[in-house]
Structure 1
Amino acid sequence: MRGHVHKRGNRWAWVVDAGRDPGTGKRKQKTKGGFDTKAAAEMALREFLVDFNSGTYVAPAVTTLAEYLDEWLVTSATHVRPTTQAGYRKDVANICTKIGGVRLGSLAPQQIEKAYAELMATGGVSGRPLAPKTVKNVHTVLRRALGDAERLGLVSRNVVRQVRPPTAVRPEIVTWSAGEVRRFLDSVEDHRLRAVVVVLATTGMRRGEVMGLRWGDVDLEAGRMAVEQTLNTVNDKLSFGPVKTAKSRRRLSLDRQTIDALRRHRAEQDAERKRFGAGWGADGLDLVFRDQLGGPVHPDRFTRQFKTLVRQAGLPELRGPHNLRHTWATLALEAGVHPKVVSERLGHSTISITLDTYSHVVPSMDADAAAIVAASIFTGA
């Protein structure tokens, strides 16, 4: 089998002579275009010939990328959490606005990189330019989807592996000082969901984990709490599910103030149930935190409420209650709590995630380490 490259308009393409069709006698050719340079086309031609001659060549799928991704979303839904699946759908919708009509088997790395650039310049479904971090998420999903296509033999290789994703700049993590946390707790002293804020601030739990907390998970006598389930919201619909990862399933010790706040909250919740009748909160969910109607506290609505309370308290604005998790981790590391303990309380899968996420604390830890060791050497302290 022989082939050559040639220029087609402003792009390059390769063509391979595949002999004659035994039925019609007509000459058959395989071709692929869309390459920016002659060198890129020649490299692709060499890869095709190697695959063909080794028997690993897979004929290009006639289905489009959009058609394949629609099917992939259906099959992948059984392996991921609802919130993850919702994110997949957004990422797929965005990439399909640019290259959804391209045949799956004809997709080239250059097309994908151009699509990424267009998403950041002109936007996707929303019509607004997407941040590099968002496009990097698109890249991650597309690589996973095309990896499955390769595994299933729908394509000969996952071309996304050759694509360079955009560099995402990590946003600065905004946290409060211990004094600012106290000010906020004082400002919500009489709020019916004050205990939510206390738990968020003193445990480092995720918002959904706190909203999914059950009284059966809490042992106030022993001062321990089990993190077992989370309350998710997808398209404004609530669903309970397991926590994020195996490491997220954990046991947490509670401090005296948090125990007192939960005791007070339970007494107030019992009073509400008596005031509104036996039907209030009678759903069998055993939730620690409920809204005024007795149902689960909607995480997104709580976030909006939280931001309003922060503004009313005159404190530095936070993106949401998740920043209390960042605040807890920062305060713990600054206080000298071992990073391994911080990582386990946060439910991170590895300690490296903790240290990478809170790298802004590392310089002060390094300075403390230098001073402590020097004091031990020079003063015997």
Structure 2
Amino acid sequence: MSRSLTRTATPGIFRRGNSYVVVVRDADRRQVKRFADTLAAARVLKAELTLGADRGTFVAGGSQTFGEYIERWLVTYRGRTSRGVRESTMEGYRASLSNYGLPFFGRSQLAKIHLRDIKAFADHIASTGATQATVRGYVGAVRVVLATAVEDGLIHHN
């Protein structure tokens, strides 16, 4: 049985059991809920989310995983320049992502991949005895995917 929401003195913030629910609308006017442990934290969260929505920079993120996004990305990616991307480059991306990127990030939500995760990925590849150039290539493939996710509005930054 779900716990009901109780209004607080702050519009858009509700109490639910021992935590607080912040309800805002994103730039596309979709309702988004986030949770906080304290009323003070909920007020800060609401201010940040509202500011992001007003600026059009707030991205809900969703629950799409890296693996799910890669499936579509490999089929639809055409490069980030007017010249497009060479087939040999795409083959390199495909190999890098299937051999290293997917096993490492496959189940991770796109919105929850952070710089520390990219660094851990680079350390993981380096621990296999790969050269620095190889590490840069594999990390580069992941960064291209994340840059496209930013362009698609799925994550806030790369």
TM range (shorter): 0.5 to 0.7
Higher relative contact order (Cα pairs below 8 Å, separated by 6+ residues): 2
Q: Is the 8 A contact 2:121 2:139 kept in 1?
A: no
Q: Is the 8 A contact 1:99 1:112 kept in 2?
A: no
Question: Using the alignment, how far apart are the partners of 1:75 and 1:55 within structure 2?
Answer: 25
Percent identity of the aligned residues?
27
> Alpha-carbon deviations, 1:181-214, whole Å to 9, x = none?
xxxxxxxxxxxxxxxxxxxxxxxxxxxxxxxxxx
Partner of 1:28: 21
Question: Shift of residue 98 of structure 1?
Answer: 1.4
Structure 2 residue identity aligned to 1:71:
R
Partner of 2:156: 156
What pairs up with 1:241-280 in 2 under 5 angstroms? Answer: none
Question: Shift of residue 64 of structure 1?
Answer: 0.6
Question: Using the alignment, how far apart are the partners of 1:108 and 1:81 within structure 2?
Answer: 28
SS, match of residue 20 in structure 1: strand
Q: Identify unmatched segments of 5+ residues in structure 1.
A: 1-17, 32-44, 123-128, 159-381
Question: Shift of residue 103 of structure 1?
Answer: 0.1
Partner of 1:95: 101
What pairs up with 1:72-221 in 2 under 5 angstroms? Answer: 72-76=73-77, 79-93=84-98, 94-122=100-128, 129-158=129-158
Partner of 1:227: none
Question: Using the alignment, how far apart are the partners of 2:71 and 2:133 within structure 1?
Answer: 23
> Alpha-carbon deviations, 1:314-336, whole Å to 9, x = none?
xxxxxxxxxxxxxxxxxxxxxxx
Question: Shift of residue 61 of structure 1?
Answer: 2.6
> Alpha-carbon deviations, 1:320-364, whole Å to 9, x = none?
xxxxxxxxxxxxxxxxxxxxxxxxxxxxxxxxxxxxxxxxxxxxx
Q: Identify unmatched segments of 5+ residues in structure 2.
A: 1-11, 23-33, 36-44
Structure 1 residue identity aligned to 2:75:
V
Question: Using the alignment, how far apart are the partners of 1:88 and 1:72 within structure 2?
Answer: 11
Question: Shift of residue 53 of structure 1?
Answer: 5.4
Structure 2 residue identity aligned to 1:115:
F
Question: Using the alignment, how far apart are the partners of 1:131 and 1:97 within structure 2?
Answer: 19
Larger Rg: 1
State the TM-score, normalizing by the size of structure 1.
0.28
> Alpha-carbon deviations, 1:45-91, whole Å to 9, x = none?
8xx55535534100013111121122111112584222111101112
Question: Using the alignment, how far apart are the partners of 1:62 and 1:143 within structure 2?
Answer: 19
SS, match of residue 21 in structure 2: strand
Q: Is 1:66 matched up with 2:59?
A: no
Question: Using the alignment, how far apart are the partners of 1:57 and 1:27 within structure 2?
Answer: 20
What pairs up with 1:287-302 in 2 under 5 angstroms? Answer: none
Partner of 1:51: 52
Q: Is the 8 A contact 2:93 2:141 kept in 1?
A: yes
Question: Using the alignment, how far apart are the partners of 1:61 and 1:131 within structure 2?
Answer: 35
Cα RMSD (Å) of the superposition? Answer: 2.8
Question: Shift of residue 132 of structure 1?
Answer: 1.6
